[in-house]
C-alpha cells in the first residue's frame, strides 16, 4: 500500500521499527540513532513514544520505535498504539525486527503486516543466536516467498546496520502488493463477497479492503468499529449479518480456519527457506536450566524475596547519601541566595518566595531523583535480563487471589520506599484494570517518608512498645491494600477478566548501554511531567502560608492556619481536633515527613521540645489514631502528580486523594472510638 508516501522527492525518510517484544527493536533504535532521540508520549496514552534521527549518505532519517506487539489484534495499550500507527501509515518504510532464533512466532506478525499491505523490510535480527542454535536461513528464498527485502543483523553488536541503511534508502519508495494467503474456498468466497460490499458501500478508508474483510470475518472488534464509523451502522449490519449467516452454516469457525491457514503458510515458508536441527537434537538451552532453579517449587519464592530485598536495599541505601547531598545543597543554596538577596535590598517577602518557595520547591522535587534513578536502573536490569517476567510468574497465584496480577508485586514493594516510583513502576502492567488498581492501592504501602512521623510519636508516647507500634502501622497498610484491591475489583472493573498469557523471554545479559538509556528516559519523563505539577503546588502552598500579608509563616493567622482551624472539627471525633494537628496534616500533603517539621513549628518547640509538646497534647490513643491517619490519608503531592501523569487524567489522582482521606478517617475513627469504648483512652 502506499498510504501517504510522505516525501518522495527530497532526502527525508521516515522509518518505523515494529515487531514482537524482545526482538531487539530498542537496541536497533539506539544503534540507528545514537543518542539523538526524543522521548515523549503517544497522544492520549502513557505509552512512550520514541523518535530519533539518523543520517546515512545524504539522507536524513527519522526513526520511530513502536511498542512491541505479537499481532495486530491489539490487546494492551502498547499494542493499540502500534496497530493504530501501522494502519494509518504515517511512514515510508517499516523495519520489521524479527528474532531469527524464533521465526515461527515472529513471522506470524510479519505475515499480518504484509497482508495489510505494509511496505516493510524484514530484518532478521539476532542472527548470532540463530547461528548458535544451528538455524540456517536462506535470505534470498525467504525474501522471495514473502515478497519483501530481507536483511540480516545483530543489533547488540552493531552488525549489519550499514547494510540495513542501504536497503532502507533504496526501498523508501517500496510499494509492494499486499500478500494474499489462500484461506480455502469457503472463506475466500465470503471474502470476495464482503470486499464487493465494502466497495459498494464506498469503504475506502486507507485500508486494504481484503485485509479489512478478513478482519471482519474474524470478528475483530476494532475492524467492526472502523466499519461502523466509515459506512454507518445499518450498512455495517448488513455485512455483519452476511458473515454471521455463513458462519452458522459453516462446518468450522472461520477464525479457526483463518489462523490455521496463516500458520500453514508460515510453516511452508519456513520449510522452504530454513534449515534447522531436528527437534530432539536441540541442545537443552541455558534458559530452561535457569528456569528450573528460579521457578523451583522450593527455591522460587525465596529467590524472589531476595531479589526484591536487594532492589529495595540498593535503591534506598545507595540513594540516601545522594539525597542528603541534594538536601544540603538546596538548603545551602537557599541560605546563600537568601542572604545575597536581603543584602541587595530585596524585600523579605520576595526573598522568602525565592528561597522557601522556588528553591525549596525545586529541591522537594529533585530529592526524589536519586531513588527513581536507582530504582529504574534496577528494574532495567531485571527487565533486560528476563527475570521480571519470572517474578510475575512466581507471584501470580498470590496476587491473583487479591484480584491483582503477578506483575503488581513490584510496584507494591517499591512503594515501601517511595510511592512516586511505585506508581511509575506500574507501567509494566499491560491491562488497564490491573494497572489502575495497583496505582490506587500503592499509597497504602507505607513509604519511607512516613517513618519519621511514626518514630517521633512512638518515641514520645510508646517508648516501651515503639517498634511494635511502627510495625503494626506497616501491617495495617498492607491489610488495607488487600481489602481495597478487593473492593476496587468489585466496584470499578466488574467482570473484566485479566489473563496471564505471557511470554517468558530467554535470559540475557543486560547491556550497560541499554539499561542506562532505559533509566534516563524514565527519569527525564518524571522530571518533566511530575515536576511541573509538584512545583506549582509547592508554590501555591507557600503563598497560602504567607497570606494575608504580614503574617508569620504558617502561623494560626495565615490562610493555612485558618484553614487548619476551619477543618480541625473534622478530626475531633478522631481524638486530635486541634488546629495544630490539622494544619500539620495539610502540610503533610506536601511531603509526609513535613508533618513532623510543621508540628515543631506550630507548637513552637525546638528539636527536644517536640516530644514534651506531643506528650502534653496527645493521649497514647489519640496519637495512635493520628498515626493511622498519617499512614492512610491523602498521599503527597508528588505521588498525586505521578498518578496524574501516569494515567493522563485528573480523575484518578482525585479518586485516590479522596478515597484515602475517607478511608483514613473511618479507620482512625474506629481506632479512637473503639479504644475509648475499651477504656484505653487515658
Partner 1 sequence: MEAEINLSESLEDYLEAIFNLIKENGSARVTDIARYLEIAASSVNQGLKKLNQEGLISQEKYGPIKLTKSGFKAAEKIYCRHKILYIFFNKTLGVSKKNADQDACSIEHALSEESFSKMVEYLIKNNYIEKKNCAFEMNTEKEEVKMTAEQLMLDKIKVGSKVEVVKIESKGRLKRKLMDMGLNRGAKVEVKGKAPMGDPIEIKVRGYSLSLRRDEAAEILVKEV
Ligand X SMILES: Nc1nc2c(ncn2[C@@H]2O[C@H](COP(=O)(O)OP(=O)(O)O)[C@@H](O)[C@H]2O)c(=O)[nH]1
Q: Which residues bind ligand X (CB under 6 A)?
A: 21-27, 68, 125-126, 128-129, 154-156, 384, 508, 510-511, 514
Instruction: Output 26 or 351, the one with its CB closest to ligand X.
Output: 26
Pick between residue 20 and residue 446 the one whose CB is nearest to partner 1.
20
> What b/e string do you get for 296-313 counting C-beta neighbours within 10 Å, with b at 16 or more?
eeeebeebbeebbeebbe
Which one among 2, 6, 48, 75 touches partner 1, defined by CB under 8 A? 75
615 marked as binding residue:
no
Q: Is 225 in the site for partner 1 (CB under 8 A)?
A: no
Nearer to partner 1, 177 or 398 (CB): 398
Cα gap 553→298, rounded to integer Å = 58
Q: Give the residue closest to Mg ion by C-beta.
A: 26
If contact means CB under 5 to 8 A according to the sort of partner, which of Mg ion, partner 1, ligand X, none does residue 296 touch?
partner 1
DSSP code at position 495 = T
* CA–CA separation, 178 and 197 (whole Å): 20
Q: Is residue 573 a known part of a binding site?
A: no
Smallest gap, in angstroms, from Cβ of residue 218 to partner 1?
Answer: 8
Q: Are the C-beta atoms of 361 and 591 separated by less than 8 Å?
A: no
Is 67 annotated as contributing to ligand binding?
yes
Least separation in angstroms between residue 330's CB and ligand X is: 36
Burial (Cβ within 10 Å: 0-12, 13-18, ≥19) of residue 225: exposed
34 is in an annotated binding site: yes
Q: Is 557 in the site for partner 1 (CB under 8 A)?
A: no
DSSP assignments along 241-277, one per residue: HHHHHHHHHSSS-HHHHHHHHHHHHHHHHHHHHEE--
User: Which partner from the list Mg ion, partner 1, ligand X, none does 33 bind, CB cut-off 5 to 8 Å by kind?
Assistant: none
Q: Does 26 bind Mg ion (CB under 5 A)?
A: yes
| 352 interacts with Mg ion by CB under 5 A | no
Q: Which is nearer to partner 1, 272 or 282 (CB)?
A: 282
71 binds, among Mg ion, ligand X, partner 1, none (CB under 5 to 8 A by kind): partner 1
Cα torsion angle, 530, 536, 539, 540, sign: negative
Q: Which stretch binds partner 1 (CB under 8 A): 43-51, 71-79, 153-161, 567-575?
A: 71-79
430 binds, among Mg ion, ligand X, partner 1, none (CB under 5 to 8 A by kind): none
Binding track over 489-518 against partner 1, x by CB under 8 A: --------x-xxxxxxxx------------
C-beta of 37 vs 656, nearer to Mg ion: 37
- Please report the beta strands in 86-170, taking only residues with DSSP state E, as ranges in sequence order: 93-99, 120-125, 136-137, 150-152
Q: Is 125 annotated as a binding residue?
A: yes
DSSP, collapsed to helix, strand or coil, labels residue 59 as: strand
| Residue 614, C-beta contacts closer than 8 angstroms, at least 6 positions apart | 456, 457, 460, 461, 599, 603, 623
Q: Residue 19 annotated as binding?
A: yes
Q: Which of 396, 430, 434, 646 binds partner 1 (CB under 8 A)?
A: 396
> How far is 261 from 431, CA to CA, in rounded Å?
30
Q: Does 273 bind partner 1 (CB under 8 A)?
A: no
The residue among 534, 565, 562, 570 whose CA lies nearest residue 664 is 570
Question: Among residues 81 and 638, whose Cβ is nearest to partner 1?
Answer: 81
Stretch 593-652 residues interacting with partner 1 (CB under 8 A): none
Map residue 493 onto helix, strand or coil. coil
Cell of 39: 522521548
Q: Which residues contact 152 (CB under 8 A, 6 or more apart)?
A: 100, 123, 124, 127, 137, 139, 160, 163
Nearer residue to ligand X within complex by CB, 27 or 371:
27
Q: Does 628 bind Mg ion (CB under 5 A)?
A: no
d(C-alpha 109, C-alpha 312), whole Å: 38
Distances (CA, A) of 89 to 119, 166, 307, 427: 10, 22, 43, 27
* Cα end-to-end span (Å), the chain: 80
Q: What cell numbers appear for 392 in the block?
A: 510475575
C-alpha separations of 456 from 83, 459, 461, 522, 614 in Å: 54, 5, 9, 34, 9
Beta carbon nearer to partner 1, 205 or 506: 506
Is residue 106 a known part of a binding site? no
Q: What is the DSSP letter of 541?
A: H
27/446 with CB nearer ligand X: 27
Number of residues in contact with partner 1, rule: CB under 8 A?
46
Q: 127 labelled as ligand-binding?
A: yes
Q: Which of 80, 75, 63 is nearest to 27 (CA)?
A: 63
673 binds, among ligand X, partner 1, Mg ion, none (CB under 5 to 8 A by kind): none
What is the separation of C-alpha 44 from the centre of its chain, rounded to a whole number of angstroms?
14
CB of 21 to ligand X, least distance (A): 5
Q: Do the Cβ atoms of 655 and 440 come closer than 8 Å?
A: yes
Binding mask 93-122 for partner 1 (x = CB under 8 A): --------xx-xx--x--------------
Residues binding Mg ion: number (CB under 5 A): 2
Question: Could you say which of partner 1, ligand X, Mg ion, none residue 126 binds, taking C-beta under 5 to 8 angstroms by partner kind?
Answer: ligand X
Report which of 409, 493, 396 is spatially closest to residue 445, judged by C-alpha positions. 409
Among the residue ranges 227-235, 319-327, 394-402, 660-668, the one whose residues contact partner 1 (CB under 8 A) = 394-402
Please tell me whether 46 is known to bind a ligand. yes
Q: What angle, 0 to 180 degrees and rounded to 10, lies between the N-to-C axes of helices 651-677 and 637-647?
A: 140
Q: Is 48 annotated as a binding residue?
A: yes
User: And the C-alpha cell for 466?
Assistant: 515503639
Q: Which residues are annotated as a binding site for GTP?
A: 19-26, 44-48, 65-68, 125-128
Instruction: List residues forming the annotated binding site.
Output: 19-26, 30, 33-34, 44-48, 65-68, 125-128
Specify binding-site residues for Mg(2+).
Answer: 30, 33-34
Point out which residues bind partner 1 (CB under 8 A).
70-71, 73, 75, 101-102, 104-105, 108, 218, 244, 248, 251-252, 255-256, 259-260, 263, 287-288, 291-292, 295-298, 300-301, 389, 393-394, 396-398, 400, 406, 497, 499-506
Chain contacts with Mg ion (rule: CB under 5 A): 25-26
Amino acid at each position: 500500500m502506499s498510504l501517504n508516501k510522505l516525501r518522495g522527492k527530497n532526502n527525508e525518510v521516515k522509518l518505523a521499527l515494529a515487531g514482537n517484544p524482545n526482538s531487539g527493536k530498542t537496541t536497533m533504535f539506539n544503534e540507528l540513532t545514537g543518542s539523538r532521540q526524543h522521548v515523549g508520549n503517544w497522544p492520549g496514552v502513557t505509552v512512550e513514544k520514541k523518535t530519533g534521527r539518523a543520517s546515512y549518505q545524504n539522507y536524513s532519517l527519522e526513526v520511530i520505535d513502536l511498542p512491541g506487539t505479537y499481532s495486530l489484534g491489539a490487546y494492551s495499550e502498547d499494542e493499540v498504539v502500534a496497530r493504530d500507527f501501522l494502519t494509518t501509515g504515517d511512514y515510508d518504510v517499516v523495519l520489521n525486527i524479527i528474532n531469527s532464533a524464533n521465526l515461527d512466532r515472529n513471522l506470524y506478525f510479519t505475515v499480518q503486516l504484509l497482508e495489510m499491505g505494509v511496505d516493510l523490510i524484514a530484518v532478521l535480527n539476532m542472527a548470532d543466536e540463530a547461528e548458535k542454535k544451528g538455524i540456517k536461513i536462506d535470505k534470498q528464498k525467504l525474501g522471495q516467498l514473502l515478497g519483501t527485502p530481507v536483511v540480516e543483523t545483530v543489533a547488540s553488536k552493531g552488525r549489519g546496520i550499514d547494510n540495513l541503511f542501504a536497503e532502507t534508502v533504496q526501498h523508501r519508495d517500496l510499494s509492494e502488493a499486499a500478500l494474499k494467503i489462500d484461506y480455502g474456498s469457503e472463506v475466500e468466497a465470503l471474502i470476495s463477497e464482503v470486499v464487493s460490499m465494502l466497495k459498494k458501500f464506498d469503504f475506502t478508508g486507507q485500508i486494504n479492503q481484503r485485509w479489512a474483510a478478513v478482519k471482519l470475518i474474524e470478528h475483530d472488534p476494532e475492524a467492526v468499529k472502523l466499519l461502523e464509523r466509515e459506512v454507518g451502522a445499518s450498512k455495517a449490519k448488513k455485512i455483519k449479518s452476511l458473515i454471521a449467516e455463513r458462519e452458522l452454516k459453516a462446518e468450522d469457525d472461520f477464525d479457526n480456519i483463518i489462523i490455521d491457514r496463516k500458520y500453514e503458510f508460515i510453516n511452508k515458508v519456513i520449510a522452504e527457506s530454513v534449515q534447522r536441527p531436528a527437534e530432539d537434537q536441540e541442545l537443552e538451552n541455558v534458559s530452561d536450566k535457569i528456569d528450573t532453579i528460579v521457578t523451583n517449587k522450593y527455591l522460587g519464592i525465596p529467590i524472589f524475596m531476595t531479589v526484591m530485598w536487594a532492589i529495595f536495599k540498593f535503591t534506598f541505601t545507595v540513594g540516601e547519601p545522594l539525597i542528603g547531598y541534594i538536601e544540603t545543597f538546596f538548603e545551602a543554596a537557599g541560605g546563600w541566595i537568601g542572604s545575597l538577596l536581603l543584602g541587595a535590598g530585596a524585600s523579605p517577602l520576595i526573598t522568602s518566595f525565592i528561597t522557601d518557595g522556588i528553591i525549596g520547591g525545586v529541591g522537594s522535587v529533585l530529592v526524589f531523583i536519586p531513588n527513581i534513578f536507582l530504582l529504574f536502573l534496577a528494574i532495567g536490569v531485571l527487565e533486560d535480563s528476563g527475570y521480571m517476567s519470572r517474578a510475575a510468574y512466581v507471584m501470580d497465584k498470590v496476587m491473583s487471589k487479591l484480584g491483582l496480577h503477578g506483575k503488581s508485586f513490584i510496584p507494591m514493594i517499591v512503594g515501601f520506599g517511595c510511592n512516586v516510583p511505585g506508581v511509575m513502576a506500574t507501567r509494566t502492567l499491560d491491562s488497564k484494570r490491573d494497572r489502575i488498581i495497583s496505582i490506587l492501592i500503592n499509597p497504602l504501602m507505607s513509604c519511607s517518608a512516613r517513618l519519621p512521623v511514626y518514630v517521633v510519636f512512638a518515641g514520645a508516647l510508646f517508648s516501651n512498645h515503639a517498634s511494635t507500634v511502627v510495625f503494626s502501622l506497616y501491617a495495617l497498610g498492607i491489610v488495607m491494600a488487600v481489602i481495597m484491591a478487593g473492593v476496587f475489583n468489585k466496584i470499578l472493573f466488574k467482570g473484566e477478566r485479566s489473563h496471564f498469557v505471557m511470554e517468558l523471554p530467554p535470559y540475557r545479559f543486560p547491556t550497560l548501554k541499554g539499561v542506562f538509556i532505559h533509566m534516563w528516559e524514565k527519569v527525564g519523563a518524571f522530571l518533566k511531567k511530575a515536576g511541573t505539577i509538584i512545583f506549582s503546588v509547592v508554590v501555591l502552598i507557600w503563598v497560602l502560608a504567607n497570606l494575608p500579608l504580614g503574617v508569620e509563616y504558617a502561623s494560626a493567622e495565615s490562610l493555612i492556619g485558618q484553614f487548619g482551624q476551619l477543618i480541625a472539627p473534622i478530626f475531633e471525633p478522631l481524638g486530635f481536633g486541634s488546629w495544630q494537628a490539622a494544619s500539620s496534616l495539610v502540610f503533610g500533603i506536601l511531603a509526609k515527613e513535613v508533618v513532623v517539621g510543621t508540628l515543631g513549628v506550630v507548637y513552637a518547640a525546638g528539636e527536644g521540645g517536640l516530644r514534651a509538646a506531643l506528650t502534653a497534647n496527645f493521649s497514647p490513643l489519640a496519637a495512635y489514631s493520628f498515626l493511622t491517619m498519617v499512614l492512610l490519608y491523602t498521599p503527597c503531592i508528588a505521588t498525586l502528580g505521578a498518578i496524574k501523569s501516569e494515567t493522563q487524567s485528573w480523575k484518578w489522582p482525585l479518586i485516590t486523594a479522596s478515597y484515602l482521606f475517607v478511608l483514613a478517617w473511618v479507620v482512625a475513627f474506629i481506632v479512637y472510638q473503639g479504644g475509648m469504648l475499651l477504656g484505653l483512652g487515658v
